[in-house]
A and B are shown apart, each in its own frame.
Chain A
Amino acid sequence: MTQAPTFAVVGHPNKGKSSVVATLSQNDAIAIALEPGTTRKRQAYPLTVDGRTLYTLVDTPGFQRPRRVLQWLEAHSVSASDHVDTVSAFVTQHRDDGRFTDECELLAPLLDGAGIIYVVDGSVPYSAEHEAEMTILRWTGRPSLALINSIGADDYSDTWQTALGQFFQVVRRFDAVRAPFEQHLSLLRAFGQLEPDWEAPLEQATQYLSGQRQQRRRQAASLVARALDDMMSFQEKRTLTAGQAAETSDGSLADQLRQRWYRHQRQREQTLRVEIEHLYQHQRIRRQEAELEWHSEHDLFSEDSRRAWAVSKRYLATAGFGAGAVSGAGIDALTLGSSLGTGALVGGLIGAAGSYLYGDRLALPALNIGVLRDGLKTATFGPVQDSQFGYVVLGRAIDHWWHISHRNHAGRDLLELEPADHHWLESLDKGSRKDIQQAFDKCRKRRPLDLRQREKFTDAIEQCMAVYDDWRLNRT
């Protein structure tokens, strides 16, 4: 079996080498900073499938003294045929020399057979000063590819492209922070083009990675479904003894319950967010809404959120009709169809009317303070009676999922989740609408969803993800 290809990501300091590696290896824990010397040692990031390595990316420090290295190489070389040996001799001789630590770390994987991924910053002007580095890389005789990674806003990629084309077999543009997933795959395929033997493992790797992405989407939908179930059916309950009941007024008890209920819902939403982030291997995201506050415009219960994510009454009515018709169809089945679908129609109408009229009710029906019985008084708040609450949670969850699934691991900026300005859910198909509404209705009534219903609910949420993705794509 041929050895899995290795690619050393090399270049001048601070050109985004670590960002490229972070994005391609899906690791948001690689140190990235605008400071030369952030990467001090080479670090390998293998992509393994069932323990078998398909390729390895090696992050390396940047060149510090390329002219001195080149001078040494030229002084010790007689002809082009000894270039590789000379580079090898340089590394052997300077391994313990503190001045050339970075160069040795950078050249060692190339001497071990790695391909070269040379990274430059396309947002700054081309400078011929990089030529010493490129010449040294050419001396190693390894297959090479240049990446133009734009760190800033300006664009000088064209001049870079022309210049790099003289030194490298393939030149590609790749924005480590903003490139969509398809570009990651396309870049990996480009790595495979460097040598015939590398094509198959890289092609295989891209297939596995796209499979993994599909799978993650399904898993994310399942996580959202579970969170929605928990949040819609959650009930805050408190039992007071006669003494406690005498001390606490109904008003303050209701306030306490409401506050605790709200707190629990916010925490559950946060847990979902962390789960989704970890699913996509984002372990260290800082969110704008890390601490949800009551007054915050991004809060789960804020009017802004409701305006942004709730669905229209017409949507509620149609979804309610579908969900009600399913229950009504049970009557038709009992009469062996002799009711000619009247059950489904009546059920649908009741569902539609219920959703239309009661879709907005949140606070009052959720609170229930019992009377003192056997020396005990029980008060409950929830489950939520408002279908819109479910749609707000769903909308926010899908929005967050979208940001996370489209976020590259080189991105270290704050994740800001702004409410959307469009009722994107309106383009969801009727079947999914019905399944969602039906699941919401069951949760509100605290009836557990059986496995088949949960599957359908998850399918519908996955459909929502597709619709949202599509809407985002066509928004601009």
Chain B
Amino acid sequence: MTDSPLRLLLAFDAQARRDTSQPPAFLHRRDRKFALVCEQQGVTPEANRWLAHLNRLSGPGTKPSAANQPLRFWRRVSTGFAAVGMVAGVFAMVGLLFYDGGQRINITVLLAFVLLQLLLALLTAVQSLAGWQPWRWLLRRFQGTPTQGVINRLQPVLMARSAHLGGLCFAISGLVTLLVMVVVQDLAFGWSTTLETAAANYHRLVQIIAAPWAWLWSAAAPDLTLIEATRFFRAGTGNTSPDPARWGQWWPFVTMLWLTWVLLPRLLLWVLTSMLLRHRARRLLSHHPAMRALLYRMETPALDTGNAHNDAADLPDTGLRNNLLPMPDSDILLCWAGAGEPELPDTLSSGKQLVLRAGGRASLADDEQVLSQIGTHCHGADSKAVILLTRCWEPPTGELQDFLESARDVWPDGTRVALVPLAADSTREPDAHQVQPWLRFAERLGNDFVRVSLPPLQPQPNPYTTSGEPS
């Protein structure tokens, strides 16, 4: 008998417990990949194949499976039961057949002992089926560390299997002892009971007991004459039998009695328990929550959202700047890429001789014309400053950079540009975070040709006074 479903279950359970400390995404990728390989090879991704696959990948020298530990423990328990059963069988049979020549070996006692054995075997079977574990405390004591996982649910059956194995060994060694003693000793069997039983009644009982083998071996089913001849009484003299050889004629019955009612039931129950164990192990494996999760992982495609790329630390310079300068006096106002639309604020437009537009919807040729126009104007002017209005929310782009670089070449030396970012609501100052890119842009240009200034705010009308009214 092989314990492979049990071994498989325990190995699976151990792997499932190890997997609980792995990230779910890893488990999913691993198992889905295995399922896909199985699909390619045309095989079903069963648990044993899965475990073999994992072990194979870990290579030689892998630690012995955690499943082996409980199996070893239960193998030791079984060996212990078998050894004890073997020794006990010899002693029990020697005790039962104790014969010093002066008395008879009472068949009734043998029948009672066999009945006891049968009852014990049945009790063990019932106990395992009902799942009672009155011996659990003892087990815990021997195991040292408490067992974990699915093995706990199999303990009643495992214990029953070991107990039946012990019983089987007991029966075998008892039978062997019986046969040896029949050969080496002259055993005298008889039957006796305190109850007033007629030989015919006893014969009926013996017939019922011997029914399973009577057709096979008639010598092992004692007839009425033998029963009548071998009855002895407590005060009997021992020589009531006409033929001393008749006392020994009971041995085939005793042998078959032991074989059929002690050995066979134990063998049968041991086989049944082993089958039950395999069945339960298979069932527990298929109902194992980790199995459900594994199947789910195998069936569900592994999704990768392409998030492996990491450049979060690779940011451009976003350090804060505070090199804002006051707005210079200038009579040139240049609106870049739609800044100041639809209406320029009075505080900016008043007193300006030249108000021009560039960038945005204007063509590059228009930009060049604006450049030369300002250049010409600056040649004759005292103050060589240009106010360049921008929309604070639009970031400075390469086009503006190109424009400013051309301006530096075209405009007379000493000309300065004040970049003035305007907020969407021109009566308000732009937000600090919207000004910062402009400060950094001016700094990146790397000269003092360009600087950044904030627009002068329009005086807010007093909502509590209207023009014409005395304040």
CB atoms of B301 and A49 under 8 A apart:
yes
Interface residues of A in 26-53 (CB under 8 A from B): 26-31, 33-38, 43-51
Chain B residues within 8 Å of A131, by CB:
361
Interchain nearest-CB distance for A351 vs B (Å): 24
**A459 to B391 Cα, complex, angstroms:** 55
CB atoms of B309 and A47 under 8 A apart:
no
When each residue 421-455 of chain B gets 1 if its CB lies under 8 Å from chain A and 0 otherwise, what string results? Answer: 00010000000010011001000000000000000
Closest 5 CB pairs of A and B: A64-B398, A27-B307, A129-B360, A45-B306, A29-B310
A67-B364, A129-B359, A451-B150 provided; 15 other pairs, C-beta below 8 A? A12-B397, A25-B306, A34-B318, A34-B436, A35-B316, A38-B315, A46-B304, A49-B303, A50-B301, A63-B397, A64-B399, A67-B363, A124-B394, A127-B338, A216-B24
9-residue interface stretch from A84-92, A136-144, A204-212, A413-421: A204-212
- Specify which of A13, A56, A68 is in contact with B402 (CB 8 Å cutoff): A68
Interface residues of A in 122-159 (CB under 8 A from B): 124-125, 127-129, 131, 152, 154
Q: Which partner residue on chain B sits nearest A154 by CB separation?
A: B424
Residues of B at under 8 Å CB distance from A? 20, 23-25, 28, 32, 36, 148-150, 152-153, 288-290, 296, 300-318, 337-338, 359-361, 363-364, 391, 393-399, 402, 424, 433, 436-437, 440
Chain A residues within 8 Å of B311, by CB:
29-31, 43
CB atoms of A219 and B437 under 8 A apart:
no
Q: Which partner residue on chain B sits nearest A56 by CB separation?
A: B306
Chain B residues within 8 Å of A279, by CB:
23-25
- Specify which of A12, A48, A450, A454 is in contact with B304 (CB 8 Å cutoff): A48
CB atoms of B395 and A451 under 8 A apart:
no
Can you name 26 A-B pairs with beta carbons within 8 Å?
A: A12-B395, A26-B307, A27-B305, A34-B318, A34-B436, A35-B315, A35-B437, A35-B440, A37-B316, A63-B397, A64-B398, A99-B398, A125-B424, A127-B338, A127-B360, A129-B359, A129-B361, A209-B305, A216-B24, A275-B23, A279-B25, A281-B305, A281-B307, A450-B152, A451-B149, A452-B289
- Specify which of A127, A128, A409 is in contact with B394 (CB 8 Å cutoff): A127
**A47 to B152 Cα, complex, angstroms:** 44
CB atoms of B148 and A448 under 8 A apart:
yes
Contact of A14 with B by CB under 8 A: yes
CB atoms of B398 and A67 under 8 A apart:
no
When each residue 74-108 of chain A gets 1 if its CB lies under 8 Å from chain B and 0 otherwise, what string results? Answer: 00000000000000000000000001001000000
- Specify which of B315, B360, B364, B394 is in contact with A68 (CB 8 Å cutoff): B364
CB atoms of A30 and B316 under 8 A apart:
no
Chain B residues within 8 Å of A154, by CB:
424
CB atoms of B361 and A208 under 8 A apart:
no
**A35 to B437 Cα, complex, angstroms:** 6
CB atoms of A45 and B307 under 8 A apart:
yes
**A239 to B360 Cα, complex, angstroms:** 78
CB atoms of A34 and B305 under 8 A apart:
no
Contact of A406 with B by CB under 8 A: no
**A343 to B148 Cα, complex, angstroms:** 29
**A128 to B302 Cα, complex, angstroms:** 44
CB atoms of A47 and B303 under 8 A apart:
yes
Q: A49-B301, A128-B360 given as contacts; is B402 within 8 A of A30 (CB)? A: no
CB atoms of A31 and B301 under 8 A apart:
no
* Count of A interface residues, CB-CB < 8 Å: 66
Contact of A215 with B by CB under 8 A: yes
- Specify which of A25, A38, A51 is in contact with B307 (CB 8 Å cutoff): A25
Chain B residues within 8 Å of A278, by CB:
23, 25
Q: Which partner residue on chain B sits nearest A29 by CB separation?
A: B310
Contact of A422 with B by CB under 8 A: no
Q: Which partner residue on chain A sits nearest B365 by CB separation?
A: A71
**A209 to B162 Cα, complex, angstroms:** 52
Interchain nearest-CB distance for A386 vs B (Å): 25
Q: Which partner residue on chain B sits nearest A71 by CB separation?
A: B364
Chain A residues within 8 Å of B424, by CB:
124-125, 154
Q: Which partner residue on chain A sits nearest B149 by CB separation?
A: A451
Chain A residues within 8 Å of B361, by CB:
128-129, 131
- Specify which of B28, B306, B395 is in contact with A47 (CB 8 Å cutoff): B306
Q: Which partner residue on chain B sits nearest A99 by CB separation?
A: B398
Chain A residues within 8 Å of B398, by CB:
64-65, 99, 102
Chain B residues within 8 Å of A329, by CB:
none
CB atoms of A36 and B396 under 8 A apart:
yes
CB atoms of A31 and B315 under 8 A apart:
yes
CB atoms of B318 and A35 under 8 A apart:
yes
CB atoms of A13 and B300 under 8 A apart:
no
Chain B residues within 8 Å of A257, by CB:
none
Interchain nearest-CB distance for B401 vs A (Å): 8
Contact of A455 with B by CB under 8 A: yes
**A211 to B302 Cα, complex, angstroms:** 11
- Specify which of B28, B305, B364 is in contact with A45 (CB 8 Å cutoff): B305
Chain B residues within 8 Å of A208, by CB:
301, 303
Chain A residues within 8 Å of B24, by CB:
216, 219, 279
CB atoms of A128 and B338 under 8 A apart:
yes
Chain A residues within 8 Å of B153, by CB:
450
Interchain nearest-CB distance for B423 vs A (Å): 10
**A124 to B300 Cα, complex, angstroms:** 43
Contact of A284 with B by CB under 8 A: yes
Contact of A367 with B by CB under 8 A: no
**A63 to B337 Cα, complex, angstroms:** 14
Chain B residues within 8 Å of A30, by CB:
309-312
Interchain nearest-CB distance for A160 vs B (Å): 13
CB atoms of B312 and A47 under 8 A apart:
no
Chain A residues within 8 Å of B397, by CB:
12-13, 36, 62-65
Interchain nearest-CB distance for B339 vs A (Å): 9
Contact of A300 with B by CB under 8 A: no
- Specify which of B303, B306, B338, B394 is in contact with A27 (CB 8 Å cutoff): B306
CB atoms of B309 and A29 under 8 A apart:
yes
